[in-house]
Amino acid sequence: MHRLRSAVALLSCVPGLLTAQQVWGTAADNYLTRHSEVMTLAPSNQVMKVHHLVLARDAGTLILEDGFLYLLGNVDGHTAGAIFQGTGRFTLIPPNPTERAELHVFANSDTLDDSVSEAVLIFADSTTDQLLHFGSAVGQVPGNVVGHVKDALETLDDAWRWRPVWPFLNGERNGLFVARLKLAKHGDTMFQIDPTETEAVKFYKPAHRTEFGTHWDLVTQFPLAGIPATASRFQWLETTHYVMDANLKETFGADIDLLATTSMTFKADQAAGPWFPFYLQYKILVDSAHWQDGSKAVTFKGKDSGILWVRTPKRLAPGDSLTLTVSYHANHPDLIDRDVEWFYIEPGVAWYPVNLSGSDDATFDVTYHTPHQYSFASVGQRTDSSLSGKVVTTHWTIDRPTPWATFNLGIFENHHVDEPDRALDVMLSEDAHREIAHALATSGYYLPQQSHMVENVTADVSNSLKYYSVLFGPPPSHHFYVTEIPSRKESPSRDSSTSRRAPSTSRLSMGSTNGSGPTRWRTSGGATASSRPRTGTNGWARASRASRHSGTSPRNDTTRPNTSSSWTSTRATSSLTRTPGRSGSEAGRPRSRSPKARRSWSTRRAPGFCTCCGS
């Protein structure tokens, strides 16, 4: 056995984070192969004896005082991780009072300073060069090290799913640094830097219950030093235009399946790729994909995964533009679930591929094929409508770039209202309300019925649009479709067969940011669409983050932003939208696109209102 080398150094002088993505190795040809390389990393026989090795990463500093560092195996021929066992310290100093207060709840102190006995490190930054600068030697690996690394990688994959693999897929160093720590006072924790997120610095504690597809709860998060809290996330790819054909096909049981083809045009704002992630609802199945020249596109979407990976033919240079066509389908009730005379379509669902590598503001050209007996509305301007047999084909366009494109259908009575400066089409089903009230009454529940529902809803929407005009100026649309959709109220039951749906009894009220009822209003699109958060959280959460980082206190900051969330988002533009709210014990639950989150809680649904703009 060779003599172990000793590393004694202060590494904080060498930047651990990279100012731009740097090509490190070769991009993966196959997603599963590279993903397996990362998630099956195990200690090699390369060992370093360390003394006072300092890894300073933004607000966190990890000092490896005395012990052994075991290098993990290679990814694409490069060291991508290590595990330390010995004695050390970890300190974390959040940069603003609000985040220090969040840390105080966990650590009973505004700063964290605790001793470390073990650290599992995964990195795609300059840590590799810093460690290998001192060299290593062949050594013996303790038996418990392998299991500890495997456990860390499993919980890492559960926590972020696609993010840790991204730089390795592209053979890049993007500044990713993750440390799974065993602290003396605070037990297992995790420190993360992921420059692909606006709030790149995060610190986690173990979740009380490993549900919603994650083992970790967020303690504190904030942007990298020098980056404003209100800055958008890094942008590599920009979607510019969608052409979609969506067939909402009625089944024998009067449910709705989706068969769709989407052609999306995107361009690179900087050198990136060739692998790019897109949101696509976790139950949607991809049938085929090809580029504009007809060549087959390399894609990957795992079972029950909400991420569609796309590999471009080459690494993109700034200004490069491509058009990808994807065909896919979703069976009921995975995407569209029927209830009485309503169809439940989650307002924020990614029913078409949504860009995760930058801006998803795009123009849309959408053709829908729907059963003739259902009323239908979409975001955009309806330019054509025709009937062939029992299928209505409508064509909708959105010329103003927007991140939202949604639709709704059901057995509605359509009430058209012309006002001096706008037109409203209010689509309601009072028969469905009466049917639900009768069903609840037979079960011993009394639900008071609202009289003059159409008039009240019309007045509420009209007043909300007037209030919008006072705050932001005239809405950018002159025709609005107001459609009724079931809103979701979670109840802590794992048996979805016990779910109950009931109409909302909360009054429509403009300006409620976090109402206690099952629904609430919020503005989306128009003046606020361009500044919406790119992490999938709602506009209120974005405002809360901004106020936290400016040193002010947010109102009722009970909902921590979650990067995988779209729960309170609605795909509507130039509109005021009433969407599912979260109250009481629901407010602290993670909001996720993951299938585990879908199955963990049964639902109670109530009709809410989604306002989609027209012409």
CA atoms within 13 A on the CB side of 344: 21
Beta carbons of 376 and 370 less than 8 angstroms apart:
yes
pLDDT band at 338 (very low <50, low <70, confident <90, very high): confident
* For the chain, domain boundaries: 6-222, 237-613
For residue 513, how many other CB atoms are within 10 A of its CB?
17
Instruction: Judge contact between 606 and 485, C-beta under 8 A.
Output: no
Closest among 219, 330, 607, 334 to 450, alpha carbons compared: 607
8 A C-beta contact, residue 176 and residue 164: yes
**Rounded distance between C-alpha atoms, residue 284 and residue 330, angstroms:** 5
Cα distances (angstroms) measured from residue 93 to each of 198, 546, 605:
18, 19, 43
Average pLDDT over residues 252-266: 94
**Structure tokens that stand for 444 in this block:** 């011993």
Give me the mean pLDDT over the 356-380 stretch. Answer: 93
16: tokens are: 């651990």
Q: Compute the distance between CA of residue 422 and CA of residue 464 in angstroms, rounded to an integer.
A: 13
Output the pLDDT for position 414. 85
Inter-axis angle of helices 31-39 and 143-160, nearest 10: 130
Q: Give the model's pLDDT for residue 209.
A: 62
Judged on CB neighbours under 10 Å (0-12, 13-18, 19+), 397 is middle
CB–CB of 363/240 below 8 Å? Answer: yes
Overall size of the chain counted in residues? 615
- What distance in Å separates the CA atoms of residue 610 and residue 405, rounded to the nearest whole number? 12
Q: Which of 225-239, 324-338, 490-504 has the highest mean pLDDT?
A: 324-338
Summarize the confidence of residues 575-602 as an average pLDDT. 32
Judge whether residue 36 has pLDDT over 70.
Answer: yes
Q: Which residue type, as a one-letter code, is found at position 398?
A: I
If one counts every other C-beta atom within 10 angstroms of the C-beta of residue 578, the result is 31
Average pLDDT over residues 197-216: 78
Which phi and psi (to 5°) does residue 171 adopt? 60, 40
**Cis (ω within 30 of 0) for the bond into 533?**
no
Q: Which is more confident, 218 or 516?
A: 218
What are the angstrom distances between the C-alpha of 256 and each of 118, 142, 284, 370, 461?
52, 56, 14, 9, 29
Residue-averaged pLDDT of the chain = 75
The pLDDT of residue 452 is 80
Q: What average pLDDT does the segment 507-534 reach? A: 27
pLDDT greater than 60 at residue 96: yes
Neighbours of 36 (CB within 10 A): 12
| pLDDT tens digits, 403-462 | 888 899 888 888 888 888 888 888 888 777 777 778 788 888 877 777 788 888 888 988
Tell me the C-alpha to C-alpha distance, in Å, between residue 317 and each of 20, 35, 74, 242. Answer: 14, 25, 28, 22
Per-position b or e across 263-286, b if 16+ CB within 10 A of its CB: bbbbebbebbbbbbbbbbbbbbee
CB distance 598 to 499 below 8 Å: no
- Binning pLDDT at 50, 70 and 90, where does residue 531 land? very low
pTM score, whole prediction: 0.76
Q: Does pLDDT of 89 surpass 80? A: yes
Q: Which two tokens stand for residue 155?
A: 């919980």
The predicted structure's pLDDT at residue 557: 30
Rounded to 5 degrees, φ, ψ at 431 are -60, -40
Cα–Cα nearest to 360, from 297, 269, 266? 266
DSSP character string of 68-119: EEEEEPEETTEE-EEEEEEEEEEEE--SSHHHHHHHHHHHSSSSEEEEEEEE
- C-alpha distances (whole Å) from 350 to each of 322, 397, 419, 520 are 21, 18, 33, 21
Pairing mode of beta strands 172-173, 201-206: unpaired
Host H or E run for residue 368: strand 362-371
pLDDT band at 161 (very low <50, low <70, confident <90, very high): low
Q: Which of 450, 470, 445 is nearest to 576 (CA)?
A: 470
Question: Tokens 């609005």, residue?
Answer: 480
Q: Count of H helices and E strands in the chain?
A: 9, 35
pLDDT computed for residue 266 by the predictor: 94
Strands 176-183 and 187-193: antiparallel
Contact in structure between 424 and 483 (CB atoms under 8 Å): no
In this predicted structure, what is the pLDDT of residue 227?
Answer: 77
CB–CB of 212/590 below 8 Å?
Answer: yes
Tokens of 131: 């460690």
The pLDDT confidence band at residue 24, using thresholds 50, 70 and 90, is: low
Place of tokens 């729960």: 567
Q: How confident is the model at residue 142 (pLDDT cuts 50, 70, 90)?
A: confident
Q: How far is CA 42 from CA 146, 147, 149, in A?
A: 6, 9, 7
Q: How far apart are alpha carbons 225 and 232 in whole angstroms?
A: 15
Residue 181 in tokens: 């720590």
The CATH T-level fold of domain 237-613 is Immunoglobulin-like (2.60.40)
Asked if the model's pLDDT at residue 77 lies above 60, the reply is yes
Dihedral sign for Cα atoms in the order 406, 349, 388, 253: negative
Residue 540 backbone phi and psi in degrees, to 5? -65, -40
Of the listed ranges 169-183, 392-406, 549-563, the least confidently predicted one is: 549-563
Reported as a single tens digit per residue, the pLDDT across 532-581 is 333 332 332 333 333 333 333 332 332 333 332 222 222 333 333 323 33
Question: Does the N-terminal peptide bond of residue 274 adopt cis geometry, omega within 30 degrees of 0?
Answer: yes
Tokens read off for 371:
């059963």
User: Considering just the CA atoms, what is the radius of gyration of the chain in Å?
Assistant: 26
